[in-house]
Chain A
Amino acid sequence: MWAVMKKEFKSYFFSPVGYVFIGLFLIMFSIFFYIDVFTYQSTNFEYIFYSGATILTFIIPILTMRTIAEERKTGTEQLLLTSPVSITKMVLGKFLAAVAIVVITELCTFMYFGILCFFGTPHITTALVTLLGFLLLAISYISFGILASSITENQIIAGVITIGFFILTWFLPSINEIFTNFSLINMFSKFPSGQIDIADTVTFITFTIVCILLTIIVMQRRKSVR
C-alpha cells in the first residue's frame, strides 16, 4: 500500500497534475483572500474557506480522474493486479496519495494565516477545525473521484462525472430543503464556525468509506467480466 502511495504521490509531480492542483488552488485562494481582507476588511481566516470549498469542486477531479482510468487505458493495471498487492491496498494507496496532496495544499494555506496575524488576531483553534472540515470534505470528494475513475477508462468522462456529481450535491438544497443533509458542501459550512459537528464528520467519513468500498467492488467485479 505504501509503495503504491509513494509512487502515485511522486507521479503527481512527474506530471504537471500536482503543480496544477496546488497552484490553481492557491491562486484562487489568494483572490478570495484579497477580497476578504481588502474589500471586506476582515481578518477572518475561516471564512475564506467557504469560497475555498467551492474551488475543490472543480479541482479535485484533476487529482482523481486519472488514478484508475489511466492505468486501465495504458494497461499498467495488469502489472498492479498481477502483483501480490491486493486491490484494497492498491485503491487505498491511490486514495492516500491524493489526500497527501490536499494536506500539502492545506499546509500552504497557513501562510495566509501568518499574513493575517499582522493585521489582527485570527483564532487558531477555529482555523484548525476549519482545516479539519476542509480535509473531510476533500477526502469525500477524492473518494468519489476515484470511484468515478474506476468505472471508465476515459479520464475526461471520469472528470466530468465527478464535477457533475459535486455540482449536483451543491445545488440540490436549492431545489428542495429535504436535500440539505445530502449536500457535502453544506455539511462543511458548519466547520468554519469552530465547532466540530459529529454528525457531519461521521457522514463525511461514511461517505468516503462507502466510495472506497464501491471502488474495490468495481475492481473485483471487473476481474470476472473483463
Chain B
Amino acid sequence: MIELKNVTKKYGKVTAVDNINFSVKEGEIVGLLGPNGAGKSTTMNMITGFIEQTEGEIMINGFDITKKPKKAKKCIGYMPEGVPLYTDLTVKEFVTYMAEIKQVNKKERKEKIRQIIEKTGLKDVEKKVIKNLSRGYKQRVSMAGALVGDPKILILDEPTVGLDPKQITEIRNMIKELGKTHTVILSSHILSEVSQICNKVIIINKGKIVAIDTPENLENRVNNKNCIYVTVEDNENKIDTIKNKIKEIKSVQLTQKNEDGTKQYIIEAEGEIDLRKTIFNEFAKENITIFEMKKADTTLEEAFMKLIEGGNK
C-alpha cells in the first residue's frame, strides 16, 4: 500500500530524515513513534506529497507521489499536525469544500458529506462556524476532512494532542474503528496510545528508523529480565531467608516500605522462568502474607527509551 525506499530529506546541510525504508500493507495500523523533532511529521509530509523528498522513492498504492501526484493523493486522507482548518467556514461548508477539492463525484457528494458528518459525530454542530468549536470538535472536523473522498489510506499526525482524556478515548476508538476499513499511519509520542491502537510500530529517532515491529515484540525485545514485584506483610523479616529456599532467585531487593507495615520487594529470577507459583507456595509456608504480586513487564515506554538511548550511543 505504502512503500518508502531510501527516502532522505535534507534542509540545507541538516538531514531531517535519513535514508529510511519501510512498507505498510493494506489494513495495517502503523504507529510512527519518536521524540519531538525525530522526523515523524517530515516523513508524513513526504508521504502525503506536501513536501518533496531529497532522495528516494515513495509509492502510494502503486503510484509514485512525485510522478503521479494526483492519483497518489486521491488515495490519501491527511490530518495534519495542529489541525489546520478554515476557521471562517461552518463545519458543513468545510467538509463540502474538502469534498469539492478532493473531486468527489457531484451526484454522490451530498450523501457522502452527510455520512461523514454523521460518522464523526458532528451532526449537532454542522452549522456552527469552526472557530467557535472546542478543540475536540476541531479535531473531529479535521478527521472528517481527511475522510472525505473515501481514501484507502489515512495519515494522522498526532491525532490526540491537546485533547482531554475523554476526547482522547473517543478519537482513539474512532481510529480503531476506521482501522478496520482503512490503512492507517499515525504519529504520536504517547506510547500507550500506539500500543493500544497499532499493530505495527516504527520507532524513529534523529531521522533514522530504530525499530520496526509489533508493540508486543518490542516489549519482549528488551524484556530480558525476569522480575516479580511482591508486596508482603512480613514482620519477622523472613524474606531474607527465602533466597536459600528457592534456588532460582537471583536477588531480592526492598523497593518500598508502606505505611501500613507492608513492604514491596522486587525479586529477580535466574533465567526465563516464572517464579510466581513457587513464591506463592513458599511464602505461605513461611507465613509471609502476600498482598500483591505481579510480573514486572517492560513497558513500551522502557523499550522505547532503551531503543532511543541505544541509537544515541
Contacts and interface: CB of A to CB of B under 8 A. Distances in A.
Partners in one complex: yes
Interface of A: 3-4, 6-7, 10-11, 14-15, 74-86, 223-226
Given A3-B101, A7-B97, A80-B101, A75 B80 contact: yes
Interface stretch (B84-92, B184-192, B225-233): B84-92
Contacts of A6: 100
Given A78-B80, A84-B74, A84-B103, A3 B48 contact: no
A7 B97 CA distance: 7
A7 B99 CA distance: 12
Given A11-B89, A76-B85, A82-B78, 9 more contacts: A6-B100, A74-B84, A78-B45, A79-B101, A82-B76, A83-B98, A84-B73, A85-B103, A86-B70
A16 to B, nearest CB: 11
Contacts of A11: 86, 88-89
Interface of B: 11, 45, 48-52, 54, 69-70, 73-74, 76, 78, 80-82, 84-89, 93, 97-98, 100-103, 145
Nearest to B72: A84
A86 B74 CA distance: 12
Nearest to A78: B80
A80 B89 CA distance: 15
A84 B100 CA distance: 10
13 contacts: A7-B86, A7-B100, A10-B93, A76-B86, A78-B80, A82-B73, A82-B76, A83-B73, A83-B101, A85-B101, A224-B51, A225-B11, A226-B51
Contacts of A223: 50-52
Contacts of B87: 74
**Residue among B11, B86, B93, B101 facing the most chain A CB atoms (10 A cut-off):** B101
Contacts of A7: 86, 89, 97, 100
Contacts of B97: 3, 7
A82 B49 contact: yes
Contacts of A79: 78, 80, 84-85, 98, 101, 145
A210 B82 CA distance: 35
Contacts of A10: 93
Nearest to A75: B84
B282 to A, nearest CB: 61
Contact of A75 (B49, B54, B82, B93): B82
A164 B50 CA distance: 32
Contacts of A76: 84-86
Contacts of A224: 51-52, 54
Given A15-B88, A82-B48, A223-B52, A3 B100 contact: yes
B192 to A, nearest CB: 27
Contacts of A14: 88-89
A78 B86 CA distance: 11
A77 B70 CA distance: 16
A7 B85 CA distance: 13
Per CB-CB distance, the 9 closest pairs between chain A and chain B, nearest first, are A75-B84, A3-B100, A78-B80, A14-B88, A82-B48, A224-B52, A83-B101, A76-B84, A82-B78
Contacts of B70: 84, 86
B85 A83 contact: no
A75 to B, nearest CB: 3
A98 to B, nearest CB: 16
B82 A81 contact: no
Contacts of B73: 82-84
Contacts of A78: 45, 48, 50, 78, 80, 84
